[in-house]
Amino acid sequence: MKIVLTGSLGHIGLPLAQLLHHHDLTIVTSKEDRTAAIKALGATPAVGSIEDADFLTRTFTGADLVYTMIPPFVSYFDPNVDLYAECQKVADKLTQAIRQAGVKRVIHLSSIGAHLEHGSGLIKLHYNVEQALNTLADADITFMRAVGFYYNLYAFIGLIKQQGIMASNTGGDDIATWVAPSDIAAAIADEITLPAAHRRVRYVVSDELTCNETAQIIGEAIGKPGLQWIALPNEQYLQGLIAAGMQPAIAQGMVEMYASVHEGVLQADYLKNRPAEFGKVKVKDFAKDFANAFAAK
């Protein structure tokens, strides 16, 4: 099968490429210095910008399947960036290229909560991307709705060191769903083997605990037993993010996102469609990586 992967050799892209080595694989990258590593995997590098529809069209033409994602190319601390507009621009370029190249099957990395048009904060950008791709009437699309990435927990290292807690405007007994990039890669590789469906939503999760259960496991790994994940009032958390330098509009989106978790809104569709099988990497496994990162800071 001729497959094109966007996302270069990132957290998901590298393990996915390794799993798909037996296919005719092309990997899109914006960095020329990644070409040697891509060739070493037996894949063909395609160097260019994901915001260049002509480049994407040429790269996608002839592919049996294209895997797409919105790369983390925007800094939340850039005071001038319009996060939603930038992500929409990429979504529109991907959609245009898929249509012009005549691609018939797409697997897209989306997010839990992408079914929500309103009230999801930052997740709204994933809703917008799904809506753009849904205009592709001639393509079969699977939306891989991943839950929270484990590596997002690294953002708590500074707070744990300074105050001995984890804190956001969700916490305590709120549900915390986590996924490892390697488990997302495995789910995508599995999805490729399944018969295509015009539209399919597939949730990807490695572990599901409460926030405090997550904190307890992390705490034990770093020598801080009894570590708690405190739920702060929305305004207090917002002001903390802004004080840390986050762009106010993005900080507001993050607060709204976590508020929807706290209220049970974001994960409602996930809970109705929870996958029968979770990924292999559990919080206890990730806690070892967290402990190493914590010690290094």
Going by pLDDT thresholds of 50, 70 and 90, the confidence category of residue 278 is very high
Going by pLDDT thresholds of 50, 70 and 90, the confidence category of residue 227 is very high
Q: Is the separation of the CB atoms in 232 and 63 below 8 Å?
A: no
DSSP states along the chain: -EEEE-STTSTTHHHHHHHTTTSEEEEEES-GGGHHHHHHTT-EEEES-TT-HHHHHHHHTT-SEEEE-----S-TT-TT--HHHHHHHHHHHHHHHHHHHT--EEEEEEETTTT-SSS-GGGHHHHHHHHHHTT-TTSEEEEEEE-EEGGGGGGGHHHHHHHS-EEESS-TTSEEEEE-HHHHHHHHHHHHHSPP-SEEEEEE-SEEEEHHHHHHHHHHHTT-TT--EEEPPHHHHHHHHHHTT--HHHHHHHHHHHHHHHTT-TTHHHHHS--SS--S--HHHHHHHHHHHHHH-
- The span from the CA of 172 to the CA of 140, in Å, is 40
CATH number, domain 2-148+179-205: 3.40.50.720
- Please give the radius of gyration of the chain, using alpha carbons only, rounded to the nearest integer: 19
pLDDT tens by residue, 170-213: 999 999 999 999 999 999 999 999 999 999 999 999 999 999 99
The pLDDT of residue 73 is 84
Mean pLDDT, all residues of the chain: 97
pLDDT tens by residue, 125-157: 999 999 999 999 999 999 999 999 999 999 999
Report the topology of domain 208-296: UDP-galactose 4-epimerase; domain 1 (3.90.25)
90 Ramachandran zone, left/alpha/beta (phi>0; psi -120 to 50): alpha
What would the mean pLDDT of 25-52 be, rounded to a whole number? Answer: 97
Q: What is the pTM of this model?
A: 0.96
Strand partners, 3: 25, 65
Q: Is the separation of the CB atoms in 229 and 215 below 8 Å?
A: yes
164 Ramachandran zone, left/alpha/beta (phi>0; psi -120 to 50): left
pLDDT beyond 90 at 74: no
pLDDT beyond 90 at 297: no
Closest CA to 28 of 2, 57, 48, 53: 48
pLDDT tens by residue, 80-128: 999 999 999 999 999 999 999 999 999 999 999 999 999 999 999 999 9
The pLDDT of residue 72 is 85
Domain ranges, ordered by start, for the chain: 2-148+179-205, 208-296
What would the mean pLDDT of 226-255 be, rounded to a whole number? Answer: 97
